[in-house]
Structure 1
Amino acid sequence: MNNTALTVMCLLPILAMSNMLFNQTHFLMTLLSLEGITLSLVLFVPLMLMNSNAPSAAMAVILLTFGACEASLGLGLMVSMSRSYGNDMLKSLTITKC
């Protein structure tokens, strides 16, 4: 694998985390940023384990499993929030409404 691809793979989790920090208006955008973090880690962690000669297949499956659980929980929370409050704006949530 060439050096440019490795650099991009190392920057993907950082870019996904910065996207999550700066896009916090809608709950759906936050969930998509979390999915980006999960998918970038699914690509990044096995690549780093492959460079250290460690078995990486099990770790990729575990990360995908946690990603699927996170997606289903997030979707359930978003549906519950949109039914209760009528929108998915994070700024409309306050401590008095929860």
Structure 2
Amino acid sequence: MWFFPTVGVGVIGVMVGMVCLMSQRKSLFGALLSMEIFTLGVYVMIFGLVCFQGWLSSVCLIFLAFGVCEAALGLSVLVSLVRSIGSDYVGGLILGHF
């Protein structure tokens, strides 16, 4: 049964992503990377459940498509922020230095 190790790796990925996201205070790029680690961990868990239960495998593709859309939106926000402000520091967003 390879179901439990696959879900375990997904849970570890989710926890690492959450810890990185909570500890990220300086750059938006680091926060986006930690959100991608979180998304990949959830994807691994969903993939393990789908393969073990024999559900419809298009669920994995739909979730992966949403993850790619989230990454594209985050990257576009990062590029527009760097173009308007000149850096990707989160502190500039909080203080409102636009």
Tell me the TM-score normalised to structure 2 length.
0.83
Q: Does residue 1:23 correspond to 2:24, yes or no?
A: yes
Partner of 2:91: 91
Alignment size in residue pairs:
97
Partner of 1:8: 9
- Superposed displacement of residue 41, structure 1: 1.1
**Structure 2 unaligned runs (5+)?**
none
Identity level (%): 26
- Look up the SS of the partner of 2:94 in the other structure: coil
CA contact (8 A) 2:11 2:42 kept: no
Partner of 1:32: 33
Q: Does residue 1:64 correspond to 2:30, yes or no?
A: no
Moved over 2 A (4+): 2-10, 48-51, 94-98
- Superposed displacement of residue 2, structure 1: 7.8
CA contact (8 A) 2:3 2:48 kept: no
Pair 1:5–1:73, CA change in 2 (3 A): closer
Tell me the TM-score normalised to structure 1 length.
0.83
**Structure 1 unaligned runs (5+)?**
none
Equivalent position amino acid for 1:76 in 2: S
Equivalent position amino acid for 1:68 in 2: V
Q: Does residue 1:79 correspond to 2:79, yes or no?
A: yes
- Superposed displacement of residue 47, structure 1: 0.8
